[in-house]
Amino acid sequence: MRVIATPEEMRAWSRTERQAGRSVGFVATMGALHVGHRRLMETAAARDDAVALSIFVNPTQFGPNEDLDRYPRSFDADCAMAEEVGVEVVYAPAASTMYPDGYATYVNVERLTQGLCGGSRPHHFRGVTTVVTKLFNAVQPDRAYFGQKDAQQAAVVRRMTRDLDFGIEIVVVPTVREASGLAVSSRNQYLSEDERRRALGLSRGLFAAEALWRAGERSPRTLTEAVRERMAHSGFAVDYVELVDADEMTPLDEARDRALLAAAGRLGETRLIDNLILDTEGAERPGPDPGTRP
């Protein structure tokens, strides 16, 4: 497995792959890889001939008081996992390569970035879309894989990819959960044992609302209140609980099939997010994913 540090080398690799008639799949990460990332890489490896992984803790998507400095870093373990699942190249540029002195260009998706996480993290998505544009231009993949866990990010990246004519297919991969139901996240490692127990209030709140929805409840207020209540009961400072259109991220008047129920809150210092798509087909089910059961 190769490790590449510059966009020029990355493009050269990608060009060689495509000229050999091999499709390129891409997974963008900030490292600290867990079973959720592993699922993204496995999905890419199953579908594409060659998989590139990026590991870059992107400063422009962190706010001034957020956890950039303490964000977990585990480069060697990350590379070991990537190699294991068949990743061919890791793109790991330095921050000074990505944002040299005089850097001035930002990509912004309007509208979709205003609500949900955009409310409390005003420049977050601008940082995400900017770095993803740079990564897309370096890796030039055929397909890029993002997790449903970051539902708003996936919708924003899909919109950007379509709007800017990238010609890259965005594949959204279902959230991986622990046996307890907790959505896997790099930030889970911030949690104390007590917080980790209380964190279940978030996923259980979502599952409770989903059960109401399956029983016929269609009021966004009732559904979001069910989540809010369980989160508050578990000690979360609730940031938001909203029922929105899964593509446009706009609030809905009534729950409908494929609506997104999304929530965020803080446990102590740690901000957690999670979501469910309300799906009559049951594509997204509460409970552990068999592939990640311990």
Residues 7 and 131: beta-carbon distance below 8 Å: no
Radius of gyration (Cα) for the chain, nearest Å?
19
Q: Which of 103, 257, 283, 291 binds a second copy (CB under 8 A)?
A: 103
Phi then psi for 176, rounded to 5 degrees?
-95, 135
133 or 203: whose CB is closer to a second copy?
A: 133
On whether the CB atoms of residues 262 and 244 are closer than 8 A, the answer is yes
Q: How many residues bind a second copy (CB under 8 A)?
A: 31
Residue whose CB is less far from a second copy, 8 or 84:
8
Segment interacting with a second copy, rule: CB under 8 A, options 11-19, 22-30, 207-215, 238-246: 11-19
Least distance between a second copy and beta carbon 215 (Å): 33
Active-site hit among 37, 123, 124, 233 = 37
Task: Out of 33, 160, 173, 261, name the contact with a second copy by CB under 8 A.
Answer: 160
Looking at the Cβ atoms of 100 and 216, the one nearer to a second copy is 100
The enclosing H or E element of 264 equals: strand 259-267
Active site residue 124: no
Decide: is 7 part of the binding site for a second copy (CB under 8 A). Answer: yes
CA distance 265 to 246: 20
Instruction: Decide if residue 60 touches a second copy (CB under 8 A).
Output: no
In angstroms, rounded to a whole number, what is the distance separating the alpha carbons of residues 285 and 294? 18
**Residue 251 within binding range of a second copy, rule CB under 8 A:** no
Alpha carbons within 13 A on the beta-carbon side of 212: 19
Q: How far is CA 226 from CA 21, 202, 220, 282, in A?
A: 51, 10, 10, 20
Q: Which residues of this protein are in contact with a second copy, per CB under 8 A?
A: 7-8, 11, 15, 18-19, 102-112, 129-130, 133-134, 137-138, 159-160, 163-167, 248
